[in-house]
Amino acid sequence: MNNRIFGVTELNEYIRDLLDIDPVLNGIYVKGELSNYKIYPSGHHYFTMKDAEGSLRCVMFKGSASKLRFRPENGMKAVAFGRIAVFPRDGVYQLYVNELTPDGVGDLYVAFEQLKEKLLKEGLFDSSHKKPIPRFPGRIAVITSSAGAAVRDIIRVLGKRWPLSKVVVLPVRVQGAEAPPEIVGAIRYANRHRIADVIITGRGGGSIEDLWAFNDERVARAIYDSEIPVISAVGHEPDVTIADFVADLRAATPSNAAELAVPDSADLREALLQLELRTGQALKRELKMLRQRLNELAQKRVLQSPKNYIDDKRMLVDFMSTRLNAAAAKKVTASREHYIRLAASLDAMSPLKVLGRGYAITRKEDGTVVKAASDVKSGDRITVRLRKDEVKATVE
């Protein structure tokens, strides 16, 4: 018999060490119902898994919780994977959860991830392929079940926000094996006949099995190939499907899809009213400035007494005319004096003046001036130019 006495903490640590070396407890799957599920500000998740006869405390730290693809809720059947260990402070063993999946849908999640990875590598999720949603669509095609709440919510929101748009409902099944071909056919029909400016496709919330039609590869490729922009509206905010990744725009809910598809007429009305107000204020400011300018011009002397303005201009014309006449007269006088000086200089240089003093100019028959006796010979005919007339002579 072991008579050793353990302290409480020592015993708890001893039990913890025993559990840590148990290979079964270090990687164990536990199935049960979630209860008392709480998410702390730290990001850690604390909850209890139970069945008809027992319960197990569980903790999932922030790093593992961030990988969850669904929102755990109380009462949900789930499968947890992790390790069993003792928290020495409380002396209570608990399951440290690394993975948590809804019970019965593990295969679906594997298929979801595989298809997601495949289409991601092919580029179907690239933002460069996303088409813009028309700002004011004239026609909207809604591809969903005609009996579900989603179509009623979409039509209600569209009618309230933008009643100018025409809504065309293409009813299809959104659950079951027949759903994917019908959804694909409706998308292709809408594109073939160009019946809308934008397409909304989706359904209300449900389990992953209910939403599985929108995780179908055929639906994903039909959305990708659509020439008309597609808004995906599947389930509620936490629900994510392959269609959401491929669509040109993802909406949290069907109602949100309707909100994203059209503008709010009330907002536009308010914007127009604000624009009208700002335009009116701008016009008032402009009119005020023009009125001030008009008042300033009205104070001008030319507008107060046009005759005085004309008289001023007449006086200015007279003044300018006087100056112009004086300048012209001065110019004429200067030109006349210059002419007289030039005429006097020319007259002084004139050969007639020389002839007038008794000199003569003798030329030969060819007009050459005789400057010396050697220029002529006996018998040459010459002309002697006097002051008033000429004398014809012969050289002897």
What proportion of the chain, given as a percentage, has pLDDT over 90?
48
2 — pLDDT class (breaks 50, 70, 90): low
pLDDT of residue 295: 87
pTM over 0.85: no
The residue-averaged pLDDT of 249-271 equals 92
pLDDT computed for residue 256 by the predictor: 94
Q: What is the pLDDT of residues 123-171, one digit of tens each?
A: 999 999 999 999 999 999 999 999 989 999 999 999 999 999 999 999 9
Tokens of 69: 């693809």
Mean pLDDT of 227-254: 92
User: Of residues 384 and 338, which shows the higher confidence score?
Assistant: 338
pLDDT tier for residue 242 given thresholds of 50, 70 and 90: very high
Q: What is the per-residue pLDDT for 118?
A: 92
Over residues 173-179, the mean pLDDT reads 93
Answer yes or no: is pLDDT of 105 > 60: no
pLDDT at residue number 388: 75
List, in order, residues 6 or more apart from 272 with CB less than 8 Å away.
Answer: none
Q: Which of 87, 262, 241, 297 has its CA nearest to residue 167?
A: 262
Q: According to DSSP H, which parts of 162-241 are helical?
A: 179-193, 217-225
Kindly report the backbone phi and psi dihedral angles of residue 251, in degrees, each rounded to the nearest multiple of 5, phi listed first. -110, 145
58-67 confidence digits (pLDDT tens): 999 999 998 8
Query: For residue 107, what pLDDT band results from cuts at 50, 70 and 90?
Result: low
Stretch among 66-80, 208-222, 299-313, 365-379 having the lowest mean pLDDT? 299-313
Q: Higher pLDDT residue, 287 or 19? A: 287
The percent of the chain in helix, strand and coil, each rounded to the nearest 5, is 45, 20, 30
Considering only residues 9 and 100, tell me which one the structure prediction assigns the higher pLDDT: 100
Per-residue tokens: 230 = 């597609």
In the numeric block, which tokens belong to residue 348? 């002084």
Most confident of 63-72, 90-99, 257-266: 257-266
pLDDT-based confidence at residue 78 (cuts at 50, 70, 90): confident
Identify the band that residue 98 occupies on the pLDDT scale cut at 50, 70 and 90.
very high
pLDDT(225) > 90: yes
| pLDDT given for residue 69 in this prediction | 65
Poorest-confidence range of 221-225, 233-237, 252-256? Answer: 233-237
Q: Per-residue pLDDT averaged across 201-224, rounded?
A: 92
64: which residues sit within 8 A by CB, 6+ positions away?
A: 97, 98, 99, 100
Sorting pLDDT into bands at 50, 70 and 90, what band is 110?
low
Chain mean position to CA 170: 33
Between residues 362 and 149, the one the model is more confident about: 149
**Diameter of the chain by CA atoms?**
190
d(CA 237, CA 69): 12
Instruction: Tell me what the mean pLDDT of segment 314-322 comes to.
Output: 87
Mean pLDDT of the chain: 87
Determine the average pLDDT of the residues in 100-104: 78
At 135 the pLDDT is 92
